[in-house]
């Protein structure tokens, strides 16, 4: 999911950094002190998601959890993912400092769709299940698409790698969707107030 250091052209690195900086600075400007703890703990969860390996056939994939983090944070997900990516970049070498901007754009922008999906009112069980699956599926699918697009825009020499990267993410999209659905169902069962807070927010906004 992370683009490594040294792969991309300066135009893409700078472009990604500028767009991500705009969103992140705007998110910081609107961040209130009371939102800092929630942003920080969800940043920690995003950081640690790469340690949660889910078996798939003879191999395993790690979760991303961008959709669910986006669902809980909205635009503040940019800050949470920025912090997590910076820590992953310097401590583990996943991504890096020069690719931080483009990686942040590729991973954080699709999470806004997770937030939008989470905020949609649902009345029936099946509607909720489909939406919760999509909260995991769509942001990851979009992130994979953006990653491949970034590689494709980097030059003809990167086209094959772009195709391989997109295909390699296909099983992960379904795993992420299923895990998000099951995790949200678990939260609904064990701590429903955490999800109802959002529903109350929807009602308030509608009123």
Partner 1 sequence: MDQTQTSPHITPTTALLLALLYSSSVALQEHLYTPMLLPLLLLGWFQKESLLSIFKRLFFLNTLIAIVVLSMLWQKNYDLALLVFLRSNFILMFILMLFQGKDEFAIAIAMHRLRLPHKLTSIFFFTAKSIFLIKREFSLFKNTLHVRGFTPKTNILTYKTMAGFVGILFIKALERSVLLQKAMQLRGYCGEVYTLEEHQAFTKQDTLLALITILSLLWRQGALI
Sites for partner 1 among residues 172-201 (CB under 8 A): 175, 178-179, 181-187, 190-191, 194
Give dist(CA 178, CA 174) in Å, integer.
6
DSSP state of 59: E
Which residues in 46-65 contact partner 1 (CB under 8 A)?
Answer: 47-48, 51-57, 60, 63, 65
Cα-based distances in Å from 58 to 55, 83, 169, 197 = 7, 33, 16, 40
3 binds partner 1 (CB under 8 A): yes
Determine which helix (DSSP H) or strand (DSSP E) holds 83, and give its type and residue range: helix 77-92
Which residue, 126 or 193, is less far from partner 1 as judged by CB?
193
Which residues in 63-102 contact partner 1 (CB under 8 A)?
Answer: 63, 65, 68, 72, 79, 83-84, 86-87, 89-94, 96-99
Determine contact, residues 51/125, Cβ cutoff 8 Å: no
Which residues in 138-157 contact partner 1 (CB under 8 A)?
Answer: 151, 156-157
Size of the site for partner 1 (CB under 8 A): 74
């Amino acid at each position: 999911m992370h683009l490594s250091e040294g792969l991309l052209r300066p135009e893409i690195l700078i472009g990604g950094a500028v767009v991500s900086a705009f969103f992140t600075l705007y998110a910081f400007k609107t961040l209130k002190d009371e939102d800092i703890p929630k942003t920080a703990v969800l940043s920690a969860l995003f950081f640690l998601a790469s340690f949660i390996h889910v078996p798939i056939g003879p191999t395993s994939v790690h979760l991303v959890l961008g959709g669910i983090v986006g669902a809980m944070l909205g635009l503040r997900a940019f800050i949470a993912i920025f912090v997590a990516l910076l820590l992953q970049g310097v401590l583990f070498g996943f991504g890096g400092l020069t690719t931080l901007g483009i990686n942040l754009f590729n991973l954080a922008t699709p999470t806004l769709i997770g937030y939008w999906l989470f905020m949609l009112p649902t009345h029936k069980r099946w509607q909720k299940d489909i939406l919760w699956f999509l909260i995991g599926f769509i942001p990851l699918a979009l992130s994979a698409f953006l990653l491949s697009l970034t590689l494709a825009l980097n030059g003809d020499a990167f086209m094959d790698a772009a195709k391989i990267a997109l295909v390699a993410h296909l099983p992960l999209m379904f795993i992420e969707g299923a895990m998000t659905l099951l995790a949200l169902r678990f939260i609904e069962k064990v701590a429903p107030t955490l999800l109802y807070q959002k529903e109350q927010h929807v009602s308030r906004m509608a009123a």
